[in-house]
Amino acid sequence: MWADTLLIVGISVFTALLGEGVTWLLVYKTEKYQRLKAEIDRQSKKLEKFKETCSDTLDKGLKKKIDREEEKLKNNNRDLSLVKMKSMLAIGFAFTALLGMFNSIFDGRVVAKLPFTPISWVQGLSHRNLSGEDYTDCSFIFLYILCTMSIRQNIQKLLGFAPSRAANKQSGGLFGQQPPSLK
Amino acid sequence: MQTKKDKPALPSVWNRIFSKNSEWPDKDEFLDVIYWARQILAIVLGLIWGVFSLQGFIGLALFALANAGILYIYFTSFQSVDEEEYGGVWELTKEGFMTSFAGFLVTWTIIYSGLHH
């Protein structure tokens, strides 16, 4: 089982790097993205500070200012997600094809033995295309998703591509946060 | 780990990680330390759980307890940071938790499958 599991980790590292590489080419290195990201980080920090210092004052002028800043931030966040969209689509298509290929290679194969029995709504994934009733059998897709969840996020953070905490906090995780791609 | 705006007198991040009650003027820097500590801890716990063939819900629960508990002791007793500055204990506890949980599951599963099947 070593060969299969390590191969899946390798595939996951490869796809995460490929995904980040393509995103770098299409998005991260563009001037527009860098400008927007810097702007959002700056505005988020400013807003956070504003909110901290003015939380107990009832100054209407300040509240209006905060509202204006929030509106600006929202617009910038929308622009940023539009910039990202292009590459997300490209990566989505490419990875769906890649995943299809890997899925057919590992079809019906038990790639690992889980040390626990997954809860029922995860079993559809962990036991996908596997025969038998032993739910500790692990399918390719389940291990791949787990690998991607941890590897992609860490690679993004290492390379400094993860959205900043301040931006995440201000946008409520709606725009700033990138869910780990499962495709 | 990003080092930003360090005062010249401040020791390096590595020194501060291992020394008691260090100063963390940059909140993000300390959150990064917590994040990466959690990831490393998850891999180490996954290796131990796998080698000793821990199984079932008890393995998952023990991981959650150990991961949250060890880091909690680190930031409250060892570094003695004011949790409220970071938005409470919960904010510090959830920093990187899901990513570390996925990393733990992968390591645990791989070692367990490889050694015991």
* Contact criterion met (CB < 8 Å) for A146 and B106: yes
φ and ψ at A138, to 5 degrees? -115, 130
pLDDT tens-digit series, residues A69-105: 888 888 988 988 888 887 788 888 888 898 999 999 9
Q: Is the pLDDT at A135 greater than 60, yes or no?
A: yes
Q: Is the pLDDT at B72 greater than 50, yes or no?
A: yes
Confidence (pLDDT) at A111: 94
Of the candidates A10, A159, A113, which has an alpha carbon nearest to the alpha carbon of residue B110?
A113
Kind and range of the H or E run holding A8: helix A2-23
Maximum separation of any 2 CA atoms in chain B, in Å: 54
B112 and B50 Cβ atoms separated by less than 8 Å: yes
With H, G, I as helix, E, B as strand and everything else as coil, classify residue A137. strand
* Contact criterion met (CB < 8 Å) for B112 and A113: yes
What residues of A are in contact with residue B99 (Cβ under 8 Å)? 149-150, 153-154
Chain B's closest residue to A119, CA to CA, is B57
Determine the average pLDDT of the residues in B96-100.
94
Residue A1: CB partners within 8 Å, gap ≥ 6?
A111, A112, A113, B113, B114, B117
* Contact criterion met (CB < 8 Å) for A116 and B56: yes
Kind and range of the H or E run holding A169: helix A165-170
Chain A contact for B94 (CB, 8 A cutoff)? no
Q: Is the pLDDT at B6 greater than 90, yes or no?
A: no
Residues from A in contact with B at Cβ < 8 Å: 1-2, 5-6, 9, 112-117, 138, 143, 146-147, 149-150, 153-154, 157, 160, 164-165
Of B40, B101, B105, B111, which to mutate for an interface test with A (greatest number of A Cβ within 10 Å)? Answer: B105
Confidence (pLDDT) at B40: 97
Burial state string for A54-72 with b = 16 or more CB within 10 A and e = fewer than 16: eeeeeeeeeeeebeebeee
Determine the average pLDDT of the residues in A27-47.
88
* Contact criterion met (CB < 8 Å) for A146 and B56: no
Kind and range of the H or E run holding B57: helix B56-73
Chain A contact for B113 (CB, 8 A cutoff)? yes
φ and ψ at A113, to 5 degrees? -110, 120
What residues of A are in contact with residue B103 (Cβ under 8 Å)? 150, 154
Q: Could you write out the DSSP letters of every residue in A57-94? A: ---HHHHHHHHHHHHHHHHHHHHHHHHHHHHHHHHHHH
* Contact criterion met (CB < 8 Å) for A150 and B59: no
Of A2, A8, A146, A150, which to mutate for an interface test with B (greatest number of B Cβ within 10 Å)? Answer: A150
Instruction: Tell me which DSSP letter residue A113 carries.
Output: E
CA gyration radius for chain B? 16
φ and ψ at B52, to 5 degrees? -90, 10
- Position A15, amino acid: T
Residue A157: CB partners within 8 Å, gap ≥ 6?
B35
Q: How far apart are CA B25 and CA B31, in angstroms?
A: 11
Percent of chain B with pLDDT over 70: 93
* Tokens linked to A21: 């590489």
Chain B's closest residue to A137, CA to CA, is B113
Least CB-CB distance to A147: which of B106, B112, B116?
B106
Determine the average pLDDT of the residues in A4-23.
92
Q: Is the pLDDT at A177 greater than 80, yes or no?
A: no
B24 and B79 Cβ atoms separated by less than 8 Å: yes
Q: How many Å from the N-terminal Cα to the C-terminal Cα in chain A? A: 24
φ and ψ at A112, to 5 degrees? -160, 165
Residue A171: CB partners within 8 Å, gap ≥ 6?
A44, A73, A74, A77, A177
A·B CB contacts under 8 A: 67
In this prediction, the answer to ipTM > 0.95 reads no
Confidence (pLDDT) at A86: 79
